[in-house]
């Protein structure tokens, strides 16, 4: 029996873990133990995903959140280390690029436990992003690197991973697995008068919310965009604090500010919207899954294949660039071609790799 300790803690990781946990539960040779660090603790950012996606209840919950990066990662290291000593897993599996990802990988590596990294090889090439640091360090200590795209594999090759004692596997994207599994269950959010046509917007990354100049530009662009088409804006708790502070411009009445949505409600919004505007990595891909053009309000993206195909425009926070790209997409959406992120069987490929290890 192979025992796998899965470390998760943030909204995107819950989505990624759901199909993998389901695939592993179907195998008699694997036992999964789930540890939730607590990085996302708000009900609408955490528990609702476990409920809707039927993720097994975590056996361990560390409740570590609302700290600076060093304090959060350090406390997670301590807590995860204790669980590893108790459970003695064969593998520690981590997802993505959060502080929970890095803490899980480092805790395992320092205790001689093999690390499996789902979503390995992604690079934004911006070392000012905490996520970039997390994903690079996590990859380096991993023994199994599950890559969603050939671009990710090429990144690892350029960094010398072909000469490291690890296995690199192209599996596609587990978020595509999740989309295929749960799209039929998508449900309308409990909000009145959802516009018949709208842009779906989310803003949460620290590189934007921690920089007043950048945030002011984004909010200005959203207000101007809403003169053309209504905007539905699920507001992240971090962003909510900023908007409630009184230090930023008031949002237009054409911008529907709503609470963070559960996964099934977000799937409904993605299906219904005309376009997505976001600084989220995951939502860029989900826009593609639903064949919706995407404006990325960052200076770069790790999902370069979406930009190269013309489905995503990286505009930074320049209002003119955001509005010009939006006008182009709203006038004529790109023609989407499937297949950038695999065939929807990434979870089964992950499970098979563990059984073969």
Q: Structural domain boundaries of the chain?
A: 2-173+342-356, 185-331
Q: What is the mean pLDDT of residues 62-89?
A: 94
Please state the separation of Cα 178 from the chain's center in Å: 12
Read off the pLDDT band of 45 (50, 70, 90).
low
Q: Report the alpha-carbon distance of residue 244 to residue 337 in Å, rounded.
A: 41
Q: Is CATH 3.40.50.1220 correct for 2-173+342-356?
A: no
Q: What is the mean pLDDT of residues 18-24?
A: 95
Read off the pLDDT band of 51 (50, 70, 90).
confident
Torsion of CA 57, 133, 213, 258, to 10 degrees: -10
Q: What is the mean pLDDT of residues 343-357?
A: 96
pTM confidence score: 0.93
What mean pLDDT is reported for the chain? 94
Considering the domain 185-331, what is its CATH architecture?
A: 3-Layer(aba) Sandwich (3.40)
Q: What is the mean pLDDT of residues 24-34?
A: 95
Is it true that 2-173+342-356 and 185-331 share their CATH fold? Answer: yes
Residue 193 has pLDDT above 90, yes or no: no
Residue 50 has pLDDT above 80, yes or no: no
Q: Which residue has the higher pLDDT, 247 or 141?
A: 141
Read off the pLDDT band of 13 (50, 70, 90).
very high
Percent of the chain with pLDDT over 90: 87
The reported pLDDT for the residue numbered 115 is: 98
The reported pLDDT for the residue numbered 46 is: 56
pLDDT tens string 230-288: 999 999 988 999 999 988 989 999 999 999 998 999 999 999 999 999 999 999 999 99
Q: What is the mean pLDDT of residues 316-322?
A: 98
The reported pLDDT for the residue numbered 43 is: 47
pLDDT tens string 150-175: 999 999 999 999 999 999 999 999 99
Q: List the alpha helices (DSSP H) in 159-262.
A: 174-182, 206-209, 212-225, 237-244
Contact status, residue 75 vs residue 136, Cβ threshold 8 Å: no
Which positions are annotated as active-site residues? 204
Return the axis-axis angle of helices 174-182 and 281-289, rounded to nearest 10°.
50
pLDDT tens string 293-310: 999 999 999 999 999 999
């Amino acid at each position: 029996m192979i025992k796998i300790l899965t470390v998760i803690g943030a909204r995107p990781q819950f989505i990624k873990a759901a199909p993998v946990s389901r695939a592993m539960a179907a195998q008699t040779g694997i036992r999964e133990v789930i540890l939730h660090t607590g990085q996302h603790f708000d009900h609408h950012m955490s528990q609702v995903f476990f409920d809707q996606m039927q993720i097994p209840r975590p056996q361990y919950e560390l409740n570590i959140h609302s700290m600076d990066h060093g304090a959060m990662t350090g406390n997670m290291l301590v807590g995860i280390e204790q669980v590893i000593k108790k459970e003695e897993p064969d593998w520690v599996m981590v997802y993505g690029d959060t502080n929970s990802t890095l803490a899980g990988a480092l805790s395992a590596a320092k205790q001689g436990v093999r690390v499996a990294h789902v979503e390995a090889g992604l690079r934004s090439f911006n070392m000012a992003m905490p996520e970039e640091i997390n994903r690079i360090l996590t990859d380096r200590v991993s023994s199994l690197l599950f890559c969603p795209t050939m671009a990710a594999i090429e990144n690892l090759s350029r960094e010398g991973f072909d000469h490291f004692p690890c296995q690199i596997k192209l599996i596609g994207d587990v978020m595509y697995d999740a989309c295929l599994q749960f799209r039929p269950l998508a449900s309308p959010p409990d909000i009145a008068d959802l516009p018949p046509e709208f842009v779906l917007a989310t803003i949460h990354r620290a590189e934007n919310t921690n920089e007043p100049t950048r945030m002011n530009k984004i909010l200005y662009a959203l207000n101007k965009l809403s003169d053309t088409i209504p905007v539905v804006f699920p507001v992240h708790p971090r962003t909510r604090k900023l908007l409630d502070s009184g230090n930023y411009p008031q949002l237009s009445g054409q911008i529907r500010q709503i609470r963070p949505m559960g996964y099934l409600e977000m799937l409904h919004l993605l299906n219904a919207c005309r376009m997505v505007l976001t600084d989220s990595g995951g939502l860029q891909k989900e826009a593609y899954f639903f064949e919706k053009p995407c404006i990325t309000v960052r200076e770069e993206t790790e999902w370069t294949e979406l930009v190269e195909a013309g489905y995503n425009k990286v505009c930074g926070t320049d209002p003119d660039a955001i509005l010009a790209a939006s006008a182009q997409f709203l006038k004529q959406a790109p023609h989407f071609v499937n297949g950038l992120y695999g065939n929807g069987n990434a979870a089964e490929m992950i499970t098979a790799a563990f059984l073969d290890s």
